[in-house]
């Protein structure tokens, strides 16, 4: 097993796993100093490209951004989202996962569960492709946002789904917007780490979309903690630049390339 993957699994029940998303080298370089896992998420569809959901982001987009992110990473585990439609069957899943790994040199791919695609995970793992699972509110398959696991039926289904993903060979699993009790139950019953987003602190680790926690995406649901309002900070700098240019205060002599 890949050493970096083993390190992540070994953290379960010892120390929390820290994860964030990145879509570019400069951000990845900062995150790499602190994060265990960096995810090139298909959330880039809405966060970067302004699309209404994650469905139309292409594998070429994902690969291009991952190539950039990889340049900023020295130690974190680099996981890449497989876009919707790229793992509908095992043959295309293998072809597309191999393409992502080959062109980006990432460590693993992430696949959203549709409650039936466990064989895809198994098939990829058999090809020695490390896979992270993803259950709960899975934006590639569920249209309307809803907290997951609020009924007994749903909670049993989610636990079975998580166990099936573990049996298929995934090395960890994202729990998205799952109720605290169910997240706790899944985390207790699995031997692989759970990484929560909107799923309480009972998970083995946490992930957030970096642009959300930096206050630059404009999307701040209750489960996001805004650690800084970067929009305000950037705006302040841009405003100062604007006035400097208009008042002819920039560029100054010190910025000239000769004299």
Q: Is 42 in the site for ligand KIV (CB under 6 A)?
A: yes
Q: Does 199 bind ligand KIV (CB under 6 A)?
A: no
237 Cβ contact list (under 8 Å, min separation 6): none
Q: If we measure between CA atoms, which residue out of 4, 5, 21 comes closest to residue 69?
A: 21
- Work out the widest C-alpha separation in the chain, in whole angstroms: 76
Q: Which residues pair with 89 in a beta bridge?
A: none
Q: C-beta of 66: minimal distance to ligand KIV in Å?
A: 13
* Closer residue to ligand KIV in complex, CB, 40/124: 40
- Which 3-32 residues touch ligand KIV, going by CB under 6 A? 21
| Interface region with ligand KIV, contact rule CB under 6 A, candidates 40-48, 71-79, 156-164, 246-254 | 40-48
176 is catalytic: yes
Helix (H, G, I), strand (E, B) or coil at 256: coil
We find the least distance from the C-beta atom of residue 255 to ligand KIV, in angstroms, to be 39
197 makes contact with ligand KIV (CB under 6 A)? yes
Q: Report in angstroms how near the CB of residue 209 gets to ligand KIV at its nearest.
A: 5
CA pair distance 12, 19, nearest whole angstrom? 14
Q: Determine if 214 is a binding residue for ligand KIV (CB under 6 A).
A: no
36 binds ligand KIV (CB under 6 A): no
DSSP reduced 3-state for 49: coil
Closest contact distance (angstroms) between CB of 145 and ligand KIV is 12
Peptide bond into 251 cis (omega under 30): yes
Joined together, the tokens standing for residue 58 give 């292409």
Rule CB under 6 A: is residue 77 a binding residue for ligand KIV?
no
Task: Using the rule CB under 6 A, give the single segment among 6-14, 34-42, 141-149, 177-185 that binds ligand KIV.
Answer: 34-42
Strand partners, 201: none
Query: What are 195's strand-pairing partners?
Result: 174, 205
* Catalytic residue (choose from 161, 176, 235, 254): 176
Strand partners, 109: 80, 131
Binding site for ligand KIV (CB under 6 A): 21, 39, 41-43, 81, 174, 197, 207, 209
């Amino acid at each position: 097993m890949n050493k970096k993957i083993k390190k992540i699994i070994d953290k379960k029940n010892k120390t929390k796993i820290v994860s964030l998303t990145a879509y570019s080298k400069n951000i990845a370089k900062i995150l790499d100093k602190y994060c265990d896992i960096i995810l090139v998420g298909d959330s880039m569809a809405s966060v970067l490209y302004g699309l209404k959901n994650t469905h139309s982001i292409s594998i070429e987009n994902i690969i291009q951004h991952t190539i950039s992110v990889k340049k900023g990473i020295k130690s974190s585990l680099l996981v890449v989202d497989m876009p919707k439609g790229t793992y509908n069957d095992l043959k295309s899943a293998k072809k597309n996962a191999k393409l992502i790994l080959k062109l980006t040199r990432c460590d693993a791919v992430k696949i959203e569960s549709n409650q039936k695609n466990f064989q895809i995970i198994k098939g990829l793992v058999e090809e020695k492709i490390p896979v992270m699972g993803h259950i709960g509110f899975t934006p590639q398959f569920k249209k309307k946002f809803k907290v997951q696991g609020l009924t007994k039926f749903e909670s049993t289904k989610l636990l079975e789904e998580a166990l099936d993903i573990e049996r298929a060979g995934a090395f960890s699993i994202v729990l998205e917007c799952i109720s605290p009790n169910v997240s706790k139950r899944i985390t207790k019953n699995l031997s692989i780490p759970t990484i929560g987003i909107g799923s309480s602190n009972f998970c083995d680790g946490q992930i957030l979309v970096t642009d959300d926690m930096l206050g630059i995406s404009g999307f701040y649901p209750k489960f996001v903690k805004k650690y800084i309002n970067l929009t305000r900070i950037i705006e302040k700098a841009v405003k100062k630049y604007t006035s400097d240019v208009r008042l002819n205060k920039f560029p100054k002599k010190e910025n000239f390339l000769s004299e």
